[in-house]
Structures are given as C-alpha cells and as structure tokens.
Amino acid sequence: MKGGEIPLQDKINLRKRAVIESVNDELKNICQIEHTRHRSFTNFITNLIAGLLAYSFLPKKPSINAERVDSLQLQLF
C-alpha cells in the first residue's frame, strides 16, 4: 500500500475498527454465520438471513455514532 494521503473520514473509520470487529465476532460466534460449503444457494441464503435476524433481536448491539461534521463548522472566525 502506498503511503499517500488518507481522507479524514477514512481515518475516523479506522479508529472504530474495534467496534466493527466485535460485530463480526458476534455474527460469527453467537448468530452462527460462518463460511461453510453449502450444497445449495438456498441453504446459504437461509443460513445468512436466519443469522442476521438473530442478530437483530439481540438486546445489546455495539454501535458507532457516525455523524458527518461539516468542515465549515470547524473553522474559527
């Protein structure tokens, strides 16, 4: 990867990697979504949708407060 300029939004998202990893961990371990070799596409979609529905009913879900800040608000007058 080249050492170029990273946009501000990407820098902010990289700081929230722990939250993204915890969501992936919950989907894999609690909701049992994993990479398996399904015998049919229907079985794959059924497993995926069932896992996402189970995740949506979890009482505590990690979240990210993703608000965009207008750069004009940051300027000092």
| Residue 70 resides in a domain | no
This model's pTM is above 0.75? no
Question: How many angstroms separate the CA atoms of 32 and 37, rounded?
Answer: 14
| Residue 73 resides in a domain | no
- Name the nearest CA neighbour of 19 among 64, 67, 55: 64
**Longest Cα–Cα distance in the chain:** 63
| pLDDT tens digits for range 33-71 | 877 777 888 888 888 898 888 888 888 877 666 666 666
Structure tokens at 36: 């398996």
The predicted pLDDT at position 65 comes to 67
Q: Domain tally for the chain? A: 1
| Residue 76 resides in a domain | no
